Amino acid sequence: MSEPATKALVLDFGGVISRTLFETHDLSEAALGLPPGTLTWRGPFEPETDALWQAMQADHITEREYWMARTQSVGRLVGEEWTDMQTFVQRARGADVAAVIRPEAIDAVHRAKAAGCKLAVLSNELDLFYGASFRERLPLLELFDVIIDATYTGILKPDRRAYEMCSEALGVSAGDCVFVDDQSRNVLGAIKLGWKTVQFDVTDPATSYARALELLGV
């Protein structure tokens, strides 16, 4: 009798493992010395009030262009000229890494690992946004078998090569990968290759992770 196929949980990082910057305006304002209520853009939480977010969802601008615009505007609020997202994230989130990690992510990762599943991060900008030292301060990432980061590969989701690179590194077939991402274009990219997927709802992370574990059979 053949061994059962190994399954893999493949997670985006920003928004899926970490809380979004939309959810942590209070932490950002405190870290940057801004008055409470200064940051008002809410992305998926209040899309009707965030025209820039709507433009990104309509593919008029890229995700990186959205965040560069936010980076520059927040930099101006503190009287500085910020030219990269890494500056924004590191300044806004400070040294308390644990404060921005979703507890639902921690639980799901541990449960998947305990069930014998492989784990991967497939991100477009992990080190670009957070800085390479972030990984060293987040023990959770030590549990992952593979981290594919377009900061270094230059291949952004939903390019099929990003997913193929990940499944090959994991040694897992496309049909045994469960991919979780909060951007529909990235989810569609995975579906085209036969991956199982969960469109992550940042407003309901518990349900999204429950669905991912269900697809893994955990």
pLDDT digit string, tens, across residues 78-87: 999 999 888 9
Please give the model's pTM, rounded to 2 decimal places: 0.88
Out of 56-60, 88-92, 197-201, give the one with best mean pLDDT: 197-201
User: Tokens 């995975």 — which residue?
Assistant: 190
In one-letter notation, the amino acid at residue 198 is V
Residues of the chain with pLDDT > 90, as a percent, come to: 79
User: Cα–Cα distance between 2 and 85 in angstroms, integer?
Assistant: 47
Structure tokens, 169: 């590194």
Q: For residue 95, what pLDDT band results from cuts at 50, 70 and 90? A: low
pLDDT digit string, tens, across residues 136-152: 888 999 999 999 999 99
What's the chain's average pLDDT?
A: 93
Q: Which residues, 6 or more positions from 38, have their beta carbon under 8 angstroms from its beta carbon?
A: 29, 77
User: Cα–Cα distance between 89 and 4 in angstroms, integer?
Assistant: 41
Q: Which pLDDT value is given to residue 1?
A: 44
Domain boundaries along the sequence of the chain = 8-18+101-216, 25-96
Check pLDDT > 90 for residue 177: yes
Residues of the chain with pLDDT > 70, as a percent, come to: 97
Q: State mean pLDDT over 6-22.
A: 95
User: Cα–Cα distance between 181 and 79 in angstroms, integer?
Assistant: 34
Q: Which pLDDT value is given to residue 64?
A: 81
Q: Which pLDDT value is given to residue 4?
A: 62
Q: State mean pLDDT over 186-196.
A: 97
User: Is residue 35 within 8 Å of 27, Cβ to Cβ?
Assistant: no
Check pLDDT > 90 for residue 128: no
Question: What is the edge-to-edge ordering of all strands in the sheet holding 177-181?
Answer: 146-149, 118-123, 8-11, 177-181, 196-199
Q: State mean pLDDT over 188-194.
A: 98
In CATH terms, 8-18+101-216 corresponds, of 3.40.50.2000, 3.20.20.150, 1.10.230.10, 3.40.50.1000, to: 3.40.50.1000
Q: Which pLDDT value is given to residue 131?
A: 81
pLDDT digit string, tens, across residues 97-114: 788 899 999 999 999 999
User: Is residue 120 within 8 Å of 144, Cβ to Cβ?
Assistant: yes
Check pLDDT > 50 for residue 9: yes
Q: Which pLDDT value is given to residue 42?
A: 96
